[in-house]
Amino acid sequence: MLLSKSQNRLRALGITMALGVVALLAGGILVNSRAQAGRLDEHFVEGESTTVSGGTVSTWARVNGGGKVIWVGLTIPMAMVENQPFPGTGPLGAVATLKYPAIVQETTYFNHAEIHSQLHGHPTNPSYADMFRYMAPHFDFHFYAIPAAQVVTIPPGPPVPPVPATRVPLGYAQPEGSVPQMGRHSAPLTEFTATDPWELTMLAGFLPYAKYIALGEPYMHFIEPMITREFLLRRQNFTLPIPMPAVLGKATRYPTEFTAHYDRGLDAYHFVFKGFESVE
């Protein structure tokens, strides 16, 4: 379904790049005519969209001339940030649950995106130096590798057994206990000792033992940028590191970069995963 001012703007930008005019998207990607030679058939593919707080949220992808997904994106309107919504009807109160295009689901790590609005923040791991670290109003952006129908079946569970060390991203802690309809969260080790005002971080998610025992060892089933409302209101570009386990446990194409570009004309953010590489 054609939508959107946001989709039309992305398409127009893709055409601009194909014509060889230097363009900017996704936090500072510069593309020139030489880089675009022979790639005139690069295009954007629409995912799903919905309205949140009067603005359009949408998923999409950019596919290169060889038919490979090179960007996986989520566009969020500033209207959603300025008028932060109450919890919705999606898994564990998600305000948006949007599938990615079929080519994304079939050839990359990503299946769908969920947005959770935390108007009053949420509890923090009691092992943190700052036990109230995540109490600021913020958004949790979950990018899942599994369908939403499976997400809603995820049960609560204890933080055991431990995830094999090769499956935990470098610099991340063993995941906590399972949150129903979500899973186990793993945070960067630096979050445990941080005492500075929190603004944003990237988490990783694992299925609880009850869900992965039949599949063998677990793999990371979501990536989660968690960002305060205050930070998003600055309307600025930013990046976050991608959790990189030594072994993902699933053969797919996985991103190595995450960047967010603030689109002044649209008054929206484009969240973009890129730098895809084959992993197992």
Q: Phi, psi at residue 131, to the nearest 5°?
A: -70, -5
Number of domains comprising the chain = 1
pLDDT class of 219 with cuts at 50, 70, 90: confident
Cα–Cα distance, 1 to 47 (Å, whole number): 8
Q: Which residues of 177-189 are buried (b: 16+ CB within 10 A; e: fewer)?
A: ebbebbbbbbbbe
For the cut 70, the answer to whether the pLDDT of residue 62 exceeds it is yes
pLDDT class of 211 with cuts at 50, 70, 90: low
Assess contact for 248 and 221: CB atoms under 8 A.
Answer: no
Assess contact for 185 and 176: CB atoms under 8 A.
Answer: yes
Q: pLDDT tens-digit profile of 133-169?
A: 999 999 999 999 999 999 999 989 899 889 999 999 9
Q: pLDDT tens-digit profile of 119-142?
A: 999 999 999 999 999 999 999 999
Q: Which pLDDT does position 21 carry in this prediction?
A: 22
For the cut 50, the answer to whether the pLDDT of residue 12 exceeds it is no
Looking up tokens 């039309």 gives 8
Assess contact for 111 and 74: CB atoms under 8 A.
Answer: no
Q: SS3 sequence, the chain?
A: CCCCHHHHHHHHHHHHHHCCCCEEECCCEEECHHHHCCCCCCEEEEEEEEEECCEEEEEEEEECCCCCEEEEEEEEEHHHHHCCCCCCCCHHHCCEEEECCHHHHHHCCCCEEEEEEECCCCCCCCCCCCCCCCCCCEEEEEEECCCHHHHCCCCCECCCCCCCHHHCCCCECCCCCEECCCEEEECECHHHHCCCCCCEEEEEEECCHHHHHHHCCCCEEEEEEEEEHHHHCCCCCEEECCCCCCCCCCCEEECCEEEEEEECCCCEEEEEEECCEEEC
Indicate the pTM of the whole model: 0.88
Q: Which pLDDT does position 59 carry in this prediction?
A: 98
Out of 57-66, 210-219, 223-232, which region has the weakest mean confidence (pLDDT)?
A: 210-219
Q: What is the mean pLDDT of residues 74-82?
A: 98
For the cut 80, the answer to whether the pLDDT of residue 210 exceeds it is no
More confidently predicted of 124 and 14? 124
pLDDT class of 66 with cuts at 50, 70, 90: very high
Percent of residues, the chain, with pLDDT higher than 70:
83
Q: What is the mean pLDDT of residues 250-256?
A: 96
Looking up tokens 């593309």 gives 31
> Which of 70, 103, 77 is closest to 272 using CA atoms?
70
Q: What is the mean pLDDT of residues 262-279?
A: 98
Q: What is the mean pLDDT of residues 27-36?
A: 34
| Domain limits for position 144 | 5-279
Q: pLDDT tens-digit profile of 32-47?
A: 333 443 456 899 999 9
For the cut 90, the answer to whether the pLDDT of residue 228 exceeds it is yes
For the cut 80, the answer to whether the pLDDT of residue 27 exceeds it is no
For the chain, how far is it from start to end, CA to CA, in angstroms?
Answer: 33
